[in-house]
Amino acid sequence: MRIVRVVCPRDCYDTCFLISVVEDTGKIRSIKGDHGNPVTQGFVCPRGVKDCERVYNNRVLYPYIRVGSKEEGKLKRVKWSEALDLVADKLRKVLRVYGPRAVLHLEYAGNMGLLTWYFPQRLWNAIGATKTDYSICSKSGHDAISLHYGLSYGIKPEELLEMKLIVYWGFNAAVSSPHMWALSIKARKKGSVIAVVDPRESESAKGADIWLNPKPGSDVALAFGVARYIIEHGYVDLDFIEKWTYGYELFKEEVVKWTPSRVEEVTGVKWSLVEELGEAYGELKPSATMIGIGFQKSVHGAESVRAVALIPALLGLHRGFYYSNSRGYQVDIAYLTGESLSNKKPMTISQVSLSNHVKRGDFKFIYIYNMNPALTLPNQKAFREGLLRSDVFVVVHETHWTETTGYADVVLPAPTYLEKDDVVIPYSHHYIRISRRAINPLGESKNEIWVMKELAKRLDLKEKWVYEDPWKAIENALKNALENGSFKELLMGKVLKLKYRPISDYQTPTGKIEFYSKRAEELGLNPIPRQYPLKLCGEEFILLNSSTPKYTHTQFREIYGSIPPITLINPEDAKVLNIRSGETVELYNELGRVRVRVIVSSSVPRRVLWSPRQMIGLNGEPQNSLVPCITQKIGGGPIFNSTTVKISKVV
């Protein structure tokens, strides 16, 4: 029996340190929590604990090429050399005939390892291939906070233990960040208060001391209501305002327009609850305002994030919020990807509206890894139609068989994180440790760097930095990023800390927290966050979606089965529509129709539906076929949680 220390690389707040227990036969027996990380605390979520099974289930183990049309769905197993020769030949022809803009590399955070996600991009940056703006997840929130703070980093998770008030705003941490939630529960045992702001009575809302459920999209009004209470009751730290902020009086002028009756009318929240949260903010110091990434995935989500992020500044707190701390570190990602090494200027397109580009045939060669876009992108019908075009060649390098591999001309087998060494940079805590290979790669799976270099050789690329030793590249990228210890110690297995930018540095035009954003003014945006009118017509419902405990995006269906094709509806709405729990209904709009089982539940308010993220309907249509490719004005992010649908019973 061997013990191998690994790090979970998934798109998750927690980035757990784990222990892989490997039998003498070479098979992984179990995955356990590692107590070497004070944030992840040695316990494992329902996903991580099942990695010992997932690594052996539904795997792509050999290279395959398409035989016949994609509609026929036939693949033939081939040798690696044949598959790579075909890929290189197709890529070479597209570059010669159409140029690098017709080549798209499409990847995201399926595995956030530096050697899995970032370093392999050197091939595509050397070519000058088109890339996306990575806007599908958190970009609008980052850009929104940056308008007022310069960069979006904030509270470190371990600081939760010292907080008197912890507010989870649009953040169901009990599910999506169980380790931060556990820290909050520990803090409550010492006397702190947990508040949750969420339209739905989520798992976190059920465990909170205070719960406010505003109408979806009304959070600017609610934040202004809380701010008004703080201002009117003398809780503002005026000395802090004078020294560290800009534009407070203009902000105050806007906030006081939000009278209790106006806040109640827009948000649907009773003013007494707004007072309760405002009083908690004023009396319980210090506080942490935890802003969810899903919170900003709506048509004006960035505006909501801006407004909420400014509440801590009223109370005299330097960056008293948490959204994502990735921009607080100084890891040279542009060096790792080769972006700063290449003299090419690749075209960047919206990841959110990518389906429209693919359907139009803007790309003749698409290389996909570390992502399952044939389920996760908006407007799935358009995206899938684009992948089926006869004039586009699609290559997918993947660990498991997915919806996306079904559209590939070539499928290449990739190892999971348990089959290779890597380093993962968290986006909440700042602890890093090398993740060691627990088992040998299964089948003929080859890692992303090996494939990248093999293709580079076939294309006869001359850039030396494409072939740089990847560990040397990581050492260079971490040159100014480590707070304690050396890169050599990292390779030896020591737990190190990432250097964190000063909490009181503000990278704004004034060098201060800007209640009135000069940068926004320059860009033609609202200098002060704005509440836009809520639009819901006739028989429309807002369809919310969020994560569930057993799945990380589309991963772990191999273990837990399909993501449940369900939707929750309020009892009063169900009564009006004559719908009962267990019946099949159809959610539809101009983009598509998705059939689901309905569950009548008081956990959702009227005119709001909730379904688990990225589920596939009973009719085989993905939830994201209902989501338009509309982008937010700030950051270009998606509007998943502003999707409107109608509902009808299937008889």
Q: Does residue 72 carry a pLDDT above 90?
A: no
pLDDT of res. 538:
86
| Residue 458 and residue 444 in contact, taking contact as beta carbons nearer than 8 Å | no
pLDDT band per the 50, 70, 90 thresholds, residue 327:
very high
- Residues 44-53 have pLDDT tens digits of 999 999 999 9
| Residue 58 and residue 401 in contact, taking contact as beta carbons nearer than 8 Å | yes
pLDDT band per the 50, 70, 90 thresholds, residue 69:
confident
User: For residues 45 and 54, what is the distance between their CA atoms, to the nearest angstrom?
Assistant: 14
Q: Quick one: tokens of 159?
A: 């600081």
- The amino acid at residue 458 is R
608-612 and 541-546 strand pairing = parallel
pLDDT of res. 437:
98
Looking at the chain, the domain(s) classified CATH 3.30.200.210 span: 2-54
pLDDT of res. 188:
98
User: For residues 488 and 496, what is the distance between their CA atoms, to the nearest angstrom?
Assistant: 11
User: For residues 387 and 396, what is the distance between their CA atoms, to the nearest angstrom?
Assistant: 12
Q: Higher confidence at residue 71 or residue 438?
A: 438
Integer CA distances (angstroms), 527 to 255, 305, 306, 517, in order? 13, 14, 10, 5
pLDDT, the chain, mean = 97
Architecture in CATH for domain 2-54: 2-Layer Sandwich (3.30)
pLDDT of res. 339:
97
List, as one string, the DSSP characters of 134-194.
Answer: --SSSHHHHHHHHHHHSS-----GGGGGG-SEEEEES--HHHH-HHHHHHHHHHHHTT-EE
Residue 123 CA neighbour count, 13 Å, CB half? 22
- Residues 198-249 have pLDDT tens digits of 999 999 999 999 999 999 999 999 999 999 999 999 999 999 999 999 999 9
Q: Does residue 70 carry a pLDDT above 90?
A: no
- Residues 528-569 have pLDDT tens digits of 999 999 988 889 999 999 999 999 999 999 999 999 999 999
Q: Does residue 162 carry a pLDDT above 90?
A: yes
- The amino acid at residue 120 is P
Q: Does residue 301 carry a pLDDT above 90?
A: yes
| Residue 451 and residue 399 in contact, taking contact as beta carbons nearer than 8 Å | no
Mean pLDDT confidence for 332-340:
98
CATH number of the domain at 541-649, please?
2.40.40.20
Q: Does residue 593 carry a pLDDT above 90?
A: yes
- Residues 489-532 have pLDDT tens digits of 999 999 999 999 999 999 999 999 999 999 999 999 999 999 99
User: For residues 499 and 501, what is the distance between their CA atoms, to the nearest angstrom?
Assistant: 7
pLDDT band per the 50, 70, 90 thresholds, residue 625:
very high
Q: Does domain 64-135+329-497 have CATH number 3.40.50.740?
A: yes
Looking at the chain, the domain(s) classified CATH 3.40.228.10 span: 154-323+503-522
Q: Is the dihedral of CA 387, 392, 398, 400 positive or negative?
A: positive
pLDDT of res. 73:
83
pLDDT of res. 616:
98
User: For residues 195 and 513, what is the distance between their CA atoms, to the nearest angstrom?
Assistant: 25
Q: Does residue 68 carry a pLDDT above 90?
A: no
User: For residues 597 and 603, what is the distance between their CA atoms, to the nearest angstrom?
Assistant: 16
SS (H, E, C) 91-129: HHHHHHHCCHHHEEEEECCCCCEHHHHHCCHHHHHHHCC
| Residue 422 and residue 392 in contact, taking contact as beta carbons nearer than 8 Å | no
Tell me how long the chain is. Answer: 651
pLDDT band per the 50, 70, 90 thresholds, residue 442:
very high
- Residues 116-161 have pLDDT tens digits of 999 999 999 999 999 999 999 999 999 999 999 999 999 999 999 9
Candidates 45, 135, 63, 10; CA nearest to 629 is 135
List, as one string, the DSSP characters of 557-570.
Answer: HHHH-SPP-EEEE-
- Using the structure block, give the residue that is written with the tokens 């729990």: 581
| Residue 308 and residue 289 in contact, taking contact as beta carbons nearer than 8 Å | yes
Q: Does residue 97 carry a pLDDT above 90?
A: yes
- pTM (2 decimals)? 0.97
**Alpha helices, DSSP H, located in 284-410:** 301-309, 311-314, 333-337, 354-360, 373-376, 380-387
Q: Which CATH superfamily is domain 154-323+503-522 in?
A: Dimethylsulfoxide Reductase, domain 2 (3.40.228.10)
**Alpha helices, DSSP H, located in 415-534:** 448-458, 470-477, 487-491, 518-522
Q: Does residue 285 carry a pLDDT above 90?
A: yes
Mean pLDDT confidence for 189-206:
98
pLDDT of res. 71:
82
